[in-house]
Amino acid sequence: MTITLSSMAKSRMALLLALLLAFNPLEASALHSLDKYVNSKHLATPGLLILNPLDGQVIAQNSPDTARVPASVLKLVSSAAALHFVGGERRYVTSIFTTESENTYLIKGSLDPWMSSNLTLAKRNGQKYLPSLITKANVENKRKITIYYATLFERDRYDLSLNLKRKGIKATFKRVTSAQAKELAKEEIASLTSLPLSEMIKFVNLNSDNTLANRLAMSAAREIGFERTSKGLTQTFKLALEEIGVNSQGLVAKDGSGLDKGNRLSTQTVVELLVRIRDNPQYQAIYEGLPVAGKSGTLKNRFIEDGPEAVGKVKAKTGWLRNTVTLAGYAKSADKEYVFAIMADGITPTLSGRNKARAAMDRLLEAIVMGNH
């Protein structure tokens, strides 16, 4: 495997290299100083692309056009699609109503992607606490109630039922259509309004929340009338990327979280996306939510030992599966900010193998930060 400058025509590459050698031999030789990091056996010939977005200069690359298993780096695409089609200002409202029957209520939601029945999590993350609606409706704390519900995720309905059961309340849930909900609803008792979708985007990338990522991806597909299936998600992602101006060749989406090993994405697509969204206010939540090396989120414990000079200077989305470790984001070096994507999807499928791959990535990015390229 070798590192090349770019994908320009061979003649232009040769001319550029000749000029570099003639006028700046030290800089020319530095083009190959990353070889030992890129060729690390612990990365097992990864998909890799690192470039300077200001001039398009490729610092390092290996098969950037080849679709790889992205793991949770796919969340970057899910986030971009949600912001593109749904919008960062979108909020979700969930309300509870009285009905004609005593001790019988209707919950009408809007498929809030970030609802919770865990009070601790709700307070910590800013999620809306679904059981609070029941508390406000069931003021006499009746032990047997009936709850009709519409446009609510089944997982949220299930979590609500467990919450009520722990409180000694036996709730009978009955799912209804939106049309039926309209007929059943009498007087609104209370409602919950979510944080804007942009805050969900920040959270999903900082903490790599799989359930939220899937729901955000599905919300994008739903918004434009596509199926909430692998085919529909792939179409949604491809359309979003196309409209943003990113090549999506080879992309396959089995889910929105990156958990499915059948997902495919190239480092070229990821880097192009990161370049396009970096200074676009519509997608700023993605950048703001990225973990910081050695400081926050899923990178809080990274780089400290294996790339200390990069602590605080790398913002990136992490990802991993059994035999895959991925990382994509931005690395600051003096007055420059490089964009990168690394997908090592052929590593030894053990904890040790994954940790060695992470360490190899951290050392590579530390070299970028220090200007050793």
| Confidence at residue 371, expressed as pLDDT on a 0 to 100 scale | 87
Q: Which residues of the chain does CATH 3.50.80 include?
A: 93-195
* Assigned CATH topology for domain 93-195: D-tyrosyl-trna(Tyr) Deacylase; Chain: A; (3.50.80)
Helix, strand, coil tally for the chain in percent (to 5): 40, 20, 35
Burial class (CB in 10 A: 0-12, 13-18, 19+), 108: buried
Q: Which residues of the chain does CATH 3.40.710.10 include?
A: 33-87+199-369
| Confidence at residue 366, expressed as pLDDT on a 0 to 100 scale | 96
Please calculate the CA angle 334-70-329 and round it to the nearest 5 degrees: 15
**Per-residue CA distances from 137 to 155, 160, 294 (Å):** 21, 14, 45
CATH entry 3.40.710.10 includes domain 33-87+199-369? yes
Segments in the chain below pLDDT 70: 1-32, 373
- Sign of the alpha-carbon dihedral angle for 346, 352, 355, 356: negative
Eight-state DSSP code of residue 101:
S
Spatial distance between the Cα atoms of 9 and 14, rounded to a whole number of angstroms: 9
Using one digit for the tens of pLDDT, what is the confidence trace for 103-119? Answer: 999 999 999 999 999 99
Using one digit for the tens of pLDDT, what is the confidence trace for 195-205? Answer: 999 999 999 99
Q: What is the SS3 assignment for 324?
A: strand
Spatial distance between the Cα atoms of 325 and 346, rounded to a whole number of angstroms: 9
Q: Considering the entire predicted model, what is its pTM?
A: 0.88
**Per-residue CA distances from 205 to 47, 212, 279 (Å):** 21, 10, 18
